[in-house]
Amino acid sequence: MKHLTSLLDLSPEDLFAILDQAAELKTLFKRGERPQLFPGRVLVQLFEKPSLRTRNSFEAAMIHLGGSGIFLTTAEAGLNGRESLADIAKVVSSFSDLITMRTFSQKLIEDVAKYSSCPVINGLSDERHPCQALTDLMTIRESLGELRGKHIVFVGDGNNVSMSLAIATAMTGMKMTLAAPQGFEFTQEFTTLLTDRYPDHQVTVCTEPFEAVRNADVVYTDVWASMGQEDDAERRKAAFSGFQVNAKLMATAPDTALFMHDLPAKRGLEVTDDVMDGPQSLVFPQAENRMHLAKGLFVWLLNQAAVRA
């Protein structure tokens, strides 16, 4: 049974198969076609944190493909200790075809995947956001074509989004620079994991955003305080004050550089309005692509499950 708990669950070939499938379904959708590939199929979503894009793009994708979705919060799913995780996974997967999860702990998703009889998808944990990174590659490919050799400069936190993006770049021969204040870089544990799996990766870390963006193809940022870090927001605001993506930073990057953000954005903190709404910004096509990518992923996972059945 294939799952997507992290991009490390996929081979580079799997990753490109998902991107191709998503692109094909997007083309059909834009022509007004919604192939009914999954009539009667059920997506169950178990979410501990809020979500606009992930939750709704997953549900819309399943509905477009002919299926439907059930959404459960922590309490409704019993993730607060009402029953064991193994029991929850066995029960939910017995009447659903796909499970998506948004959690604090990465291990929670991996544990549910262990006991689930259907594929489990990570819709964000504190450590990973694989569907976002896949969507980002899809979006970059639409604008720049070939991914290999392209350079993403992530100005911000060494968090779930940037870690998944780093894995995605390593899998596709891209370059990535994380420009982060000291103390907010990738953990040593993550760097070791990445290097063990992809020894030739071109992921580097620096503390100088203006130097880093000079040869960027994409300038990317995310919130300074992620969900669950609200109490640390003021300290982070001070630490990241020189890391705002604004017109001055974008003027240092090549004119052709694109701007991306996974959203939600805190306008005026990590990014200014003029960059978010400017001509280099891809943020809204990027958000739309969450839905197209979800379709590609669902089709790929359910086809894999069917091959094994």
Q: What does the binding site for ligand NVA look like in residue numbers (CB under 6 A)?
A: 124, 159-161, 222-223, 226-227, 262
If you ran DSSP here, which 8-state letter would residue 234 be given?
Answer: H
Q: At closest approach, how far in Å is the CB of 53 from ligand NVA?
A: 7
Closest of 275, 249, 262, 285 to residue 168, by C-alpha:
262
What is the per-residue binding string for ligand CP in 233-262, x denoting contact by CB under 6 A?
Answer: -----------------------------x
Taking the least distance from each CB to ligand CP, the nearer of 120 and 198 is 120
Query: What are residue 219's phi and psi, to 5 degrees?
Result: -105, 125
Q: At closest approach, how far in Å is the CB of 263 from ligand CP?
A: 5
Residues 6+ apart with CB under 8 A from 282: 139, 143, 258, 259, 260
> Choosing among ligand CP, ligand NVA, none, which partner's interface includes residue 223 (Cβ < 5 to 8 Å by kind)?
ligand NVA
Residues 6+ apart with CB under 8 A from 203: 166, 169, 170, 175, 176, 177, 178, 186, 191, 194
- CB neighbours of residue 220 within 10 Å: 25
Residue 17 binds ligand CP, judged by CB under 6 A: no
Nearest-5° angle of CA 300, CA 262, CA 11? 35
Taking the least distance from each CB to ligand CP, the nearer of 54 and 93 is 54
Taking the least distance from each CB to ligand NVA, the nearer of 44 and 161 is 161
Q: At closest approach, how far in Å is the CB of 160 from ligand NVA?
A: 5
Closest-by-Cβ residue to ligand CP is 54
Taking the least distance from each CB to ligand NVA, the nearer of 56 and 304 is 56
Positions in 86-125 near ligand CP (CB under 6 A): 124
Taking the least distance from each CB to ligand NVA, the nearer of 92 and 124 is 124
> Choosing among ligand NVA, ligand CP, none, which partner's interface includes residue 127 (Cβ < 5 to 8 Å by kind)?
none
Residue 162 binds ligand CP, judged by CB under 6 A: no
Helical segments of the chain, H only: 12-30, 53-64, 74-77, 85-94, 106-115, 130-144, 160-172, 188-197, 209-212, 233-239, 247-252, 273-276, 283-308
Residue selected from 5, 6, 45, 51 as contacting ligand CP according to rule CB under 6 A: 51
Taking the least distance from each CB to ligand NVA, the nearer of 71 and 104 is 104
Taking the least distance from each CB to ligand NVA, the nearer of 92 and 225 is 225
Residue 60 binds ligand CP, judged by CB under 6 A: no
Pairing of strands 151-155, 68-73: unpaired
In angstroms, the CA 287 to CA 47 distance is: 19
Residue selected from 106, 263, 303, 305 as contacting ligand CP according to rule CB under 6 A: 263
- CA separation, residue 51 to residues 125, 161, 195, 272, 274 (Å): 12, 14, 31, 22, 25
> Choosing among ligand CP, ligand NVA, none, which partner's interface includes residue 222 (Cβ < 5 to 8 Å by kind)?
ligand NVA
Q: At closest approach, how far in Å is the CB of 58 from ligand CP?
A: 9
Residues 59/43, Cβ–Cβ less than 8 Å? yes
- CB neighbours of residue 143 within 10 Å: 15
Residues 121/98, Cβ–Cβ less than 8 Å? yes
> Choosing among ligand NVA, ligand CP, none, which partner's interface includes residue 254 (Cβ < 5 to 8 Å by kind)?
none
Binding site for ligand CP (CB under 6 A): 51-54, 124, 132, 262-264
